[in-house]
Chain A
Amino acid sequence: MATVEFQGKQVEIDEDGYLVNLDEWTKELGEKMATDDGLSLTEAHWEVINFLRDYYQKYQIAPMIKILVKEIAKILGPEKGNTKYLYELFPDGPAKQACRYAGLPKPTGCV
């Protein structure tokens, strides 16, 4: 377990860079995680992140990718409603990378 210093506070993250205490998440922290990966978050990224966070609050898990795709099509238009577009936004995979920026735990199972 490691900690990173952020805005004068020690934030705990696990070996894979996921937040340990989900309520320590802030927008800026998500932003910083992305910047550290060399990614700058656009509005489209934030649509994904916000949706993930909303869904997580209800169901305690990230949504499956098909649900995410459908939602993104609704918000950003049908031409963006596909897995390929989500991988363009989050090259390491929307489920894992976007969850990390959103402060959610990594989904683990046979996935």
Chain B
Amino acid sequence: MAETGKLEAKPVSFEDLIKWEKIKYEAPELTGKIETPCIKENASLSYKAQLYKGKDAIARLGYPTEGLIPNWKEKFLEKMDEMLKKYRSVRLFMDICVRCGACTNKCHYYLGTGDPNNMPVARAELMRKIYRRYFTPQGKLLGKKLTNSEDLTEEMLALWYTYFYQCSECRRCSVYCPYGIDTAEITMAAREIMNSIGIVQKYMHEIVDKAQYIGNNLGMIPDAVRNAIEFVETDLQEQTGLDIKIPIDQKGAEILFVTPSADFFASPHIESLYGYAKVFHQAGISWTMSTYASEGGNFGLFVHNYNNMKIINKRIWDASRELGVKRVVGGECGHMWRVLSSYSNTLNGPFDWLNPKYSIPQHICEFTLDLINKGALKLDKSANDEFTVTFHDSCQVARGMEMGGTASGQYEIPRAVIKACVNKFVDMPENTIKEKTFCCGAGQGLLGDDMLPIRVKGAMPRMQAVKVVKDSHGVNFLALICAICKAQMSKMFPTYGYPMEEVGGIHQLVSRAIVFGAKEGI
């Protein structure tokens, strides 16, 4: 008889445990306050991510294609062992948590759902329970009873799938942890362990595959990329009467510019492409985009599997060498910035042929600010007078590497560009910006429509902060530098009752303010 004493409990299959169902969602009323919620057990247990069924793609990515493999337990523990050895930090994070609780109310998904498994420490405990049971002498000897651990069961695996896909790997929790425990690392390892036994989430892996084999996240073939860029070029020329070019695959250009493919497909992303092109035009520096390296964002970062991240990153590496450029500049993209600045050298080797005088890579905000400081860009702030602007620090930038060679560059540089383009700028409350920034709620593989219920909950802290500056200063433009943030926020604004048009990129503001003709100081 089952432990609970229930007779005839219907056996549920693993597929049932993680079955995706459409769930109605509604945005909570905004109050401007971010309060720690009361614990609601299992509040977001039913929010699942869709599983990937694209067998060819899954095979290309190197994972089992038929769903959960029969000998999954054995493989799971093997893979976990490998992860613990390969990523020493993950093993360390298993051992050193003292359960002080400092991280508990720092995660936007916990704040939004009240589900205790979304407390960073509890999320990590899902892995620790298995760790203690199978990887410590006590656990091996005594089993789960005395060691606060768990057996590896289908129920446990379902909890993993649920809650490791309710983490956007934003690393906010690590800022508050006295030991610097980074739950994002644990999530990445957990996802890779699940991949290895055939539990492959759809949204992000479909995209990783497209980025590897077609060259960008949207799966745009070179002709489609060209068509989109040429459209923007023509439109720019019509608007300005100037011969503004967006060069494609041009050998010998000074700069290779890489940006998320969303920037030549979606709104409001595309508005920043207008801005980038105007900046390059005004600077008079030769530049090119690439149909081969037509993606900045590297979703390979979302799981601990350097192989996929490496293949995606190599496109940029190859293109910059083949085109013979001297600099690589990256557009408004959080994950690209993190991979290019922190991992690229280890993945594919250094960019030896680039000019070391400039940051490798250079962020478009740094590039633009440099021109502004040299007096090479003239900006008319009054062109943006209809806006009162605030800035959302994208977590992958804010908690990634410094920008422009100074420790706080990733906070100051984007703000300096905005302030050069607008008269009215105000920051959101201090505990929601810079290194303490809240994720938009859709990062690292959670942007799919299947995840909308959790996206709405996870966006709550950011939306509360937006409300504060809306009420106090009449903010009506949220400036962003990440394609996912743009997609997520332009969906969340209307969901929370604000106009979608109030969301856009920093270079959208630059685009409106730039004054052509003035050309000095380069």
Contact = CB atoms under 8 A, between A and B. Distances in A.
Nearest to B264: A64
Binding site secondary structure of chain A: loop
A52 to B, nearest CB: 13
Contacts of A67: 227-228, 231
Contacts of A109: 207, 210, 216-219, 260-262, 265-266, 297, 483
B448 A60 contact: no
Interface string A38-74: 0000000000000000000011110111110010000
Interface in B48-73: 50, 53
Interface residues of B, number: 39
A108 B207 contact: yes
B447 interface: yes
B450 A66 contact: no
Given A109-B217, A110-B262, A64 B483 contact: no
Interface in A97-111: 106-111
A111 B262 contact: yes
A60 B223 CA distance: 9
A66 B262 contact: no
A111 B265 contact: yes
Contact of A110 (B53, B219, B228, B487): B487
Contacts, number: 87
A1 to B, nearest CB: 6
Contact of B235 (A61, A66, A96): A66
A69 B141 CA distance: 67
Contacts of A64: 228, 231, 264-267, 270
Binding site secondary structure of chain B: helix
B267 A65 contact: yes
Contact of A59 (B224, B260, B269): B224
B439 to A, nearest CB: 14
A61 B105 CA distance: 42
Contact of B231 (A66, A83, A95, A108): A66
17 contacts: A15-B450, A16-B449, A59-B221, A59-B227, A61-B265, A64-B265, A65-B267, A65-B270, A66-B235, A67-B231, A96-B449, A108-B206, A109-B218, A109-B260, A109-B265, A110-B484, A111-B487
Interface of A: 1, 15-16, 58-61, 63-67, 70, 83, 95-96, 106-111
Interface of B: 20, 50, 53, 203, 206-207, 210, 216-221, 223-224, 227-228, 231-232, 235, 260-262, 264-267, 269-270, 297, 333, 447-450, 483-484, 486-487
